[in-house]
Amino acid sequence: MNKIVLITGASRGIGLETAKLFAKSGYQVIGTSRSKFDLGGLIKNTDAKSFELDLMSKSSIKELFSKLKSEDLLPSVLVNNGGITKDQLFLRMKDEDWDDVIETNLNGLFRVTKAFIKPMVKNKFGRIINISSVAGLMGNSGQVNYSSSKSAIIGFSRSLAKELGSRNITSNVVAPGFIETDMTTFLNDEEKIEVSKNIPMKRFGNVDDVAKCILFLASDEANYITGQSISVDGGLFMY
């Protein structure tokens, strides 16, 4: 097994913290973002590689695959973390708000996984970890598009787990709750306190709470775990 991980949406937040942890665990880390960034500089690891990737572009994904294949850097671990939000109440939601979120969060995940799954099947080893959201489990006002995309990821991952389990490839989901990232900065301190009242642990999570779960699912300790959705949300949603 090669220790190479590909993380989409790795320039900040959960993706960046995940890259740091994998690098510290001895992985060759490859990160992508919609815009140019220096992953090696951000995580202080000169071996880390950064690539621009547009999840809405089929050609962009194909180019990344070809580049990594030519450099013998095809990953054994894939973390589908990249995604966007375009929040709006449903009655005001524009078609493009729906289309862009579904195209990026769901169709982009499909294409990236489709591109990189074949080498895993050939090698009879792989770890696929898809990042959903508590919004995909319980819904959230103003996020019909985002919640739909994140809910679909769970069905995608479970179906993939059933197809690929015999090839020693696991497929799991991590569903973060309210985490201290750029995506929660729109809440002021009073709103955060109000939200925290509904969280049994009475606080927002940190990016390393999520990253540690992702790293675990890629580890040997999780080699018999597949088709599962693990919520990292302080108990906000239980099912």
The DSSP bridge partners found for residue 7 are: 31, 79
By CB atoms closer than 10 A (0-12, 13-18, 19+), residue 216 is middle
Start-to-end CA span in the chain (Å): 35
By CB atoms closer than 10 A (0-12, 13-18, 19+), residue 220 is exposed
Annotated catalytic residues are 146
Residue 213's CB is within 10 A of a number of other CB atoms, namely 19
8 Å CB contact between 133 and 150: yes
Please choose, from the candidates 57, 58, 60, the residue with its C-alpha nearest in 3D space to the C-alpha of residue 68: 60
Please choose, from the candidates 66, 32, 38, the residue with its C-alpha nearest in 3D space to the C-alpha of residue 51: 32
d(CA 106, CA 111): 9
